[in-house]
Structure formats: structure tokens, C-alpha cells
Amino acid sequence: MHKTSFVLVELIFSIVLFSLLFIYTLNNTMALEVKNKKSYNKLTSIIQLEATKLFLEKNENLDLLQYSNGVLNYNNNLLLDKLTSYSKFNKNSNIVIQLCLKDTICQKWYFKK
């Protein structure tokens, strides 16, 4: 009788221990997944901005840029969407473009006239 109760206590202890370990592992895995999604979205936005900047450097006619309702178009073609702010102005011998994408990433670009 004494042996069976000891085995039962060991079994209960093992079940509790493995349950706690499983919950801890699951919690960390979920937190890591959320962090990875945020990092992925941020890096995707940065790549979009950098690609747009490179496109504008290659196509030097910045007069074809049009902004309305969070959408930036170039020659009536979609360039960027989900912009929260945009401004374009002349400063010395440069054209300066300031923009924010999804309220998370803001950049200021300088282009020679």
C-alpha cells in the first residue's frame, strides 16, 4: 500500500511539473510570435520606404508626386499608402520630403533639384 501511494504522489508531482513547464513554454512561444510579427511589420514598412526613396532618386521628376487621403501617387500610379503625414518643400538647393508611414516610421528625404 505504501508503494502505490508513493507512486501516485510521484505521478501527481510529475503531472503538475510538466503542466507548469508546458504553460511557461507556450506563454514564451506566444510572446515571441507577437514580437516577431511586430518586427516583421516594421521592417516591411522600412523596406517600402527605402524602395520608394530609391524609385524617386531614379525618377527625378518629383513634380509628378501627388498626395491625398494617405496615398502617395507618382504620375497617377500608387507609390505608397497608409501615410499619416506628408510634406514636400524646397530648402536651399534641395527638395525635402517628410513622411510618416502608419504612425510608426517617419523619414526625411533630401533630393537635389
Say if CB 97 and CB 88 are below 8 A apart: yes
How many residues can be counted in the chain?
113
Nearest Cα residue to 107 out of 39, 73, 38, 56 = 56
Q: pLDDT 10s digit of each residue in the chain, 113 long?
A: 577 788 899 999 999 999 999 999 999 999 999 999 999 999 999 999 999 999 999 987 888 999 999 999 999 999 999 899 999 999 888 999 999 988 789 999 999 87
State the total domains in the chain: 1
In this prediction the pTM is: 0.73
Residues spanned by the domain of 51:
2-112
